[in-house]
Amino acid sequence: MAEEFLRIEKLVKAFGANQVVKSVDLSFNKGEFISLLGPSGCGKTTILRMIAGFERPTSGNIFVDGREITNLTPNRRNIGMVFQAYALFPNMTVFDNVAFGLKVAGKPKAEIAPRVAEMLKLIHLEQLADRYPYQMSGGQQQRVALARALAPSPRMLLLDEPLSALDAKIRVSLREQIREIQQNLGITTVFVTHDQEEALSISDRIVVMNAGRADQVGTPSDIYNRPATRFVASFVGTLNIIDATVVDPAANTIRIGDGVITLREPIGALKGGDKVSVALRPEAGSLSESATGDTALTGTVVSSHFLGSVVRTKFDVGGNQISFDMFNAPDKVLPQPGETVTLRFAAGDLLLIKD
Ligand SMILES: Nc1ncnc2c1ncn2[C@@H]1O[C@H](COP(=O)(O)OP(=O)(O)OP(=O)(O)O)[C@@H](O)[C@H]1O
Ligand SMILES: [Mg+2]
């Protein structure tokens, strides 16, 4: 069994009457890379700040490595943190920025220089030790911020949207570097982001946050393929959420528009005529000439957009607008508005949304 490293129990934070973290329970393993994913204002930074000790919980407890740290001051937690906005000391060189935590900890000079050199090597900025923050790009500054956080050998690393101020290409390259460094060091890491692709691509597990609660905790594949709630389904990926009516619960059949479809998962306690929602990934289906079998939907094309590697087509089935993606090919003919199309998919691709 994996070893638990960070445990959060019934964590609550209220600012005045406004409860922004609502009894969150989480348990992370040693060496895990965890993302807190959720929209703006859902409480991600507040949770991170409570773990770091910058914010005191209204109630609840935080444990690291079996010891309670809920009321320890930040400097006694041995946790490294990188913030969203570049938070380097502007009047200090790269070297002095990275050395800062080591100096505060009272390390001897003879130990500091080689440790800083090692950290600069880790982030591939050995040549920039004498630069000041204003002489570097945003991506370079964030790498220095990472080196500064890691220099004192923290037992845990907290990253609050460290990539959000960077342009798309640098963001992808830097997130891969962060993941690689994290894996090499084996350091337990909590990474905050509102970018689902970022979370899916680098995490061992993801916590999807919704208005102060953790809606789902799971591997990227769990979160993407088996969303536990409507919120997770709609936040992660560009999922279609389709209104349907139960036809025969014993046979797991539902009606969408004029089509009757058999679900793979049991419908449960619903009765004929009940309304349900089902989710369908845009990449799940493919166009078909005829509506054979019971896992096809036929409708009228509303729009078709060329997005580069994919073509996204929206079509209408009984008032539901359903998007689906096809890979691009040089000779691809885009479906035209008004055209009738049939989308075929596997029965297991339709997920029942339970709330
Ligand atoms: N010091 C504070 N005083 C009062 N309200 C606060 C304080 N800090 C945060 N909040 C509120 O708590 C809620 C959660 O804020 P938080 O910064 O944790 O969100 P977030 O998920 O990190 O959002 P974002 O993605 O925009 O950074 C917000 O409604 C915010 O306005
Ligand atoms: Mg935040």
**CA nearest ligand 1 atom 26, residue:** 40
Domains in the chain (CATH in brackets) are 4-227 (3.40.50.300), 240-352 (2.40.50.100)
Asked whether 40 lines ligand 1 (CB < 6 A), one says yes
Asked whether 77 lines ligand 1 (CB < 6 A), one says no
Whole-number Å distance between alpha carbons of 303 and 312: 8
**Confidence (pLDDT) at 48:** 96
Asked whether 15 lines ligand 1 (CB < 6 A), one says yes
**CA nearest ligand 1 atom 27, residue:** 40
Counting ligands in written order, the one closest to the CA of 16 is 1
What is the CA(153)–ligand 2 centre distance, in A? 25
Contact (Cβ atoms closer than 8 angstroms) between residue 191 and residue 80: no
Asked whether 50 lines ligand 1 (CB < 6 A), one says no
Ligand 1: nearest atom to the Cα of 192: 22
Whole-number Å distance between alpha carbons of 185 and 183: 5
Asked whether 327 lines ligand 1 (CB < 6 A), one says no
**Alpha-carbon distance values, 35 to 30, 192, 208, 220, 305 (Å):** 14, 6, 8, 10, 32
> What spatial distance separates the first Cα and last Cα of the chain, rounded to whole Å?
32
Whole-number Å distance between alpha carbons of 182 and 179: 5
Q: Which residue has the tokens 């560009």?
A: 238
**Confidence (pLDDT) at 264:** 87
**Confidence (pLDDT) at 291:** 58
Indicate left, alpha or beta for 41 from its phi (over 0: left) and psi (-120 to 50: alpha). left
Asked whether 43 lines ligand 1 (CB < 6 A), one says yes
Whole-number Å distance between alpha carbons of 279 and 353: 7
- CB within 5 A of ion ligand 2: which residues? 45
What is the three-class DSSP state of 31?
coil
**CA nearest ligand 1 atom 10, residue:** 15
**Alpha-carbon distance values, 190 to 62, 79, 198, 319 (Å):** 14, 11, 13, 42
What is the CA(104)–ligand 2 centre distance, in A? 27
Hey, which of 37, 44, 83 would you mutate to test ligand 1's pocket, going by the most ligand atoms within 8 Å of its Cβ?
Answer: 44
Q: Pick the closest to residue 37 from 177, 220, 168, 176 (CA basis).
A: 220
Contact (Cβ atoms closer than 8 angstroms) between residue 207 and residue 36: yes
Hey, which of 45, 84, 193, 196 would you mutate to test ligand 1's pocket, going by the most ligand atoms within 8 Å of its Cβ?
Answer: 45
Asked whether 13 lines ligand 1 (CB < 6 A), one says no
Helical residues (DSSP H) of the chain, grouped into ranges: 44-52, 94-104, 109-122, 138-150, 168-185, 196-202, 220-225, 230-235
Hey, which of 11, 12, 13, 15 would you mutate to test ligand 1's pocket, going by the most ligand atoms within 8 Å of its Cβ?
Answer: 15
**Confidence (pLDDT) at 355:** 62
Asked whether 44 lines ligand 1 (CB < 6 A), one says yes
Whole-number Å distance between alpha carbons of 213 and 200: 19
What is the CA(51)–ligand 1 centre distance, in A? 15
**CA nearest ligand 1 atom 3, residue:** 15
Whole-number Å distance between alpha carbons of 281 and 322: 9
What is the CA(194)–ligand 1 centre distance, in A? 13
* Residuewise pLDDT in 10s, the chain (355 residues): 678 999 999 999 999 999 999 999 999 999 999 999 999 999 999 999 999 999 999 999 999 999 999 999 998 999 999 988 778 999 999 999 999 999 998 999 999 999 999 999 988 899 999 999 999 988 899 899 999 999 999 999 999 998 888 888 888 988 999 999 999 999 999 999 999 999 999 999 999 999 999 999 999 999 998 888 888 988 887 788 898 999 998 888 999 988 888 888 888 788 889 998 888 989 888 888 765 666 888 999 999 998 888 999 999 998 899 999 999 888 888 889 999 999 998 888 888 886 6
What is the CA(40)–ligand 2 centre distance, in A? 7
Q: Pick the closest to residue 148 from 206, 101, 199 (CA basis).
A: 101
Q: What is the pTM of this model?
A: 0.86
List the 18-29 sheet strands across, edge first: 18-29, 4-15, 59-64, 67-68
**Confidence (pLDDT) at 59:** 97
* Phi, psi of 171, rounded to the nearest 5 degrees: -60, -45
**Confidence (pLDDT) at 84:** 80
What is the b/e burial string over 61-93, where b = at least 16 CB atoms within 10 angstroms of the residue's CB?
Answer: ebbbeeeebbeeeeeebebbbbbbebbbeeeeb
